[in-house]
């Protein structure tokens, strides 16, 4: 089998950056990570063009995995709160299949990140701290897709995302934001009773001090590394 036949191009679409990497059959990187800024306005046409830009310098690949910040069903985008309203109903998978001439699978970005880090035992949750708040839920390694915890009310005035998203971090400062993240964790624990919570996303590195015993910080690159398992787990 050739290297190309074993290679999966993984794309991570974020509110501030779009990243790509090529992985081998075992999920090990065989290329450097390439990143460009997410265009503004983040329309489907602009983002697809940016995706093609991060693909261009990558080596040959057989298939494509995409993590997208919103609800994704059958490769079609249903929400994109931190990008643009024109995404609703956009067939991102089909568009990229035409552009790359490869098979494509698209899933929620937190779901893909979770596939890259979970242990497959009991209830596991993933929270991504970035432009917004991504979330994923797994039971014995099986994904419960498109958990949009970030848009659920946490207080009378704010959703989880409004409470700990990028705008909240900028408005309150790191110290207050750290306290808010811990409040989110304390709120989640007695509801889902997760065996483990994984914290990722670009802002996770701003967390200071100790965390609950069942909480683990994971590298942001997991959003790319989960792309291999997306092909193994999806029908």
CATH number at residue 203: 3.30.420.40
Please state the length of the chain: 235
Tell whether the model's pLDDT for residue 102 goes beyond 70. Answer: yes
Give the pLDDT band of residue 64 (cuts 50, 70, 90): very high
Residues 90 and 180 in one domain: no
Are residues 42 and 107 located together in one domain of the fold?
yes
Q: Which domain holds residue 96?
A: 4-112+223-233
pLDDT digits (tens, 9 = 90+) for 12-24: 999 899 999 999 9
* Domains held by the chain: number: 2
Q: Do residue 135 and residue 64 come from a single domain? A: no
Question: Rounded to whole angstroms, how far apart are CA atoms 181 and 184?
Answer: 5
pLDDT tens digits for 193-227?
999 999 999 899 999 999 999 999 998 787 788 89
> Do 37 and 136 sit in the same domain of this protein?
no
122: pLDDT strictly greater than 50? yes
- Say whether pLDDT at 4 is over 80: no
Q: Is the pLDDT of residue 235 over 70?
A: no
Are residues 203 and 154 part of one domain?
yes
Are residues 158 and 97 part of one domain?
no
What is each CA distance from 65 to 8, 54, 57, 120, 160, in whole angstroms? 7, 13, 17, 21, 27
d(CA 233, CA 235): 7
pTM for the whole structure: 0.91
Note whether 93 and 135 are same-domain residues. no
């Amino acid at each position: 089998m050739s290297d190309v036949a074993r290679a999966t191009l993984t794309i991570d679409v974020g509110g501030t950056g779009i990243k790509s990497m090529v992985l081998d059959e075992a999920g090990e990187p065989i290329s450097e990570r390439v990143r460009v800024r997410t265009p503004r306005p983040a329309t489907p046409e602009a983002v697809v063009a940016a995706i093609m830009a991060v693909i261009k310098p990558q080596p040959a690949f057989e298939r494509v995995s995409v993590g997208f910040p919103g609800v994704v069903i059958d490769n079609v985008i249903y929400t994109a709160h931190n990008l643009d309203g024109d995404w609703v109903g956009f067939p991102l998978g089909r568009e990229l299949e035409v552009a790359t001439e490869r098979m494509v699978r698209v899933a929620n970005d937190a779901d893909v990140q979770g596939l890259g880090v979970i242990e497959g035992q009991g209830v596991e949750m993933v929270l991504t701290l970035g432009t917004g708040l991504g979330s994923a839920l797994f039971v014995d390694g099986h994904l419960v897709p498109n958990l949009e915890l970030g848009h659920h009310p946490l207080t009378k005035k704010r959703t989880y995302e409004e409470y700990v998203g990028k705008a909240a971090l900028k408005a309150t400062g790191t110290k207050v934001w750290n306290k808010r993240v811990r409040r989110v964790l304390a709120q989640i624990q007695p509801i889902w009773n997760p065996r483990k919570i994984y914290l990722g996303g670009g802002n996770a590195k701003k967390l200071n001090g100790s965390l609950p015993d069942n909480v683990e910080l994971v590298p942001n690159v997991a959003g790319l590394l989960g792309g291999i398992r997306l092909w193994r787990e999806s029908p």
